[in-house]
A and B are shown apart, each in its own frame.
Chain A
Amino acid sequence: MDSTFLKSASRTLIALLFAIIVSYYFFRSEKFWIPLATLLVMQTPIGSELHHGLQRFLVMLASLAVGSFLVLFVQQKIVIDILVLCCFLASAYFYKDENFILSLGFLASLLILITVLLPYHSLQMRAYAVTVGSIIGMTAKVILFPARPDVEFRKRIITLLKAYNNYLLTIKQLLLREPNAESQALQQRIIVETILLKKAPVWVYQSGFNFALRQGHRYFFIMVERIGQLLMTLHSEARHEFDGEVRQLLSTPFNQYVLHVGELFAVIESILSLKKETLAWNDCAEDITAMENAFNTTVTPSLELLDISKDYSTFAALILDLKDLRDVLLKLLEALQNT
């Protein structure tokens, strides 16, 4: 269990407890709405707490108004219930975390459903309760163990980069046909995929993300994602059954390349961890040249004839991907050194 989860859980529990106390003493007729509003405004992404909290609060108010209107003015209650239930199920079906409109649509239909199903007292009282609950939630989110997007971003990127480096090592083993390399590469790929799904700092793409950090973090994350994509295509190229001579020629420069890329990963991680030590690194230019030379000795210089053999085109794709990987890493390093 990591500290971010513990902080988030403690914050939510404290806010919820406070919301329950307030609703018990001050809003007995609408006591359900304060904790609900508190919980809903707290489910916002890192770095855009106020922006998204405010949006959710406004959606809650609008949903209350729509729900109350339906209860008061539509005579057949069963029709409303079925209609709202259908809306709720449809929005739940299409719900996506990352899609802003769909997630708000889901929230709105859920609230309208609750408004319609619960006994109706007063729209005004409900609006007060939602406002108080939202204030409690947003205040808790900002004051209690506030999430620091820059620290969280660096932590998550380091986790990703470590997984990438391990993945590249298994790709190297696969290319050089070491024993069990295929299963190890697949295992490492699944680890990378899981981190991308669960730990990647996707909130940098959210509208309303911290204005000061937005541009730099987005640029950095795009580059880091690109590394993952390049590694996945390198995996497919390493799987290719190269001619023995080609593999032999590639062996030494590719080993050197992976070693040097490992150094680049280590330097980037060290800067992101705010360590003072300076690590030595190599820009892999010589390794790339050595691989290009190996390519030129085995392949005809005419690109026109590349389609004769899949060996050659895969070899060319491999070198191009390795070049791009190097470029991306150097750009990341440059960006970090300039900040």
Chain B
Amino acid sequence: MRSLNFKRLFKKVFIYFIFTVLFWCLKIAFVNASMLDFENLTLTDNETLSGGSWLSNNVGYYFSNNGFRTIDFETGIVGNLVEVVDKYSYGFISYCSYDNIYQTYRQNELYSEQMNMFDTYVKSFIYSSTVPCTIKYITWKFKYDCGATGTYCNAHPRFVFYGDISDYSLRSYGYLSEPLQVDTSTAQILNQNAVIIDNIDKTNDKLDKLNDNINDNNVDSSNSTISDFFNSFNSGDTKGLQDIIILPLEYVNHLNDKCTPVRLPLGQLGDVDLPCLSETLYNKSEFANLFNILALLINGFIMYKCATSLILFINDLKNPDSDKLEVLEL
């Protein structure tokens, strides 16, 4: 009797053991399947994104399960990148949480983090909560800019979710109901938007240049403009009436030019080379101060005389006896 009971007990224990093993096998298989569903969620494959375009899902991806405690969200450009400078990807994801402590549902309590990417590696961030929370939805918005606006790079963005399986059951993985994807039409619209924005930028640049040109009050180039004015007369007859009229003005315009050594022909005595005195004599250290004072006196005297004569001339304008204006009028 006892042996019969023992056999029955052994049989029950054995069946329980078999079922337990089977259960764990099924559970592990189920978990692995769920993990396969969850990992490597490829948003787009072999998608070529225009530089500067935003890839986003403003609607968000909805979850309906409690139990997430840690979310690891990864993205990146996986694949070949065109070798252009300043390739980077940044963006943010956001999701709201359910706080078990205060039992208040805070929609749009956004947890966001900017991500920078300077290479093809995958950047991730981890959201950790000290309490169990409900992930209501996840939205994302990433900008893939592989260079200057209008350039293209082969971006293979990949979003990978990991859940914290240490404290919570693996079933929480199973609520990802559909793969994340961006349809082709959306990508095309984004590309078109990028082209439109690029054209708008170009138009704005042209308008800025036009505005700068209109508001440009710089007259620094007036000297060269005046030189052009005189030089333009030389296009015609070089020894005609125009030349006689313009020639003195042209020479006056070049009066301030730097001194050049000249050769003085003295007939049978031969030619005499005259070097510039400012470079040969006046700059001698022995006489430099003396000549500086002398130059100051000469220049000052001439300028003083010019100024006084001009003032006298202007004063003469008031003098009715002055005939200067009348002479001109004749």
Are A and B co-members of a single complex?
no
Residue positions of A touching B, CB distance < 8 A? none
Residue positions of B touching A, CB distance < 8 A? none
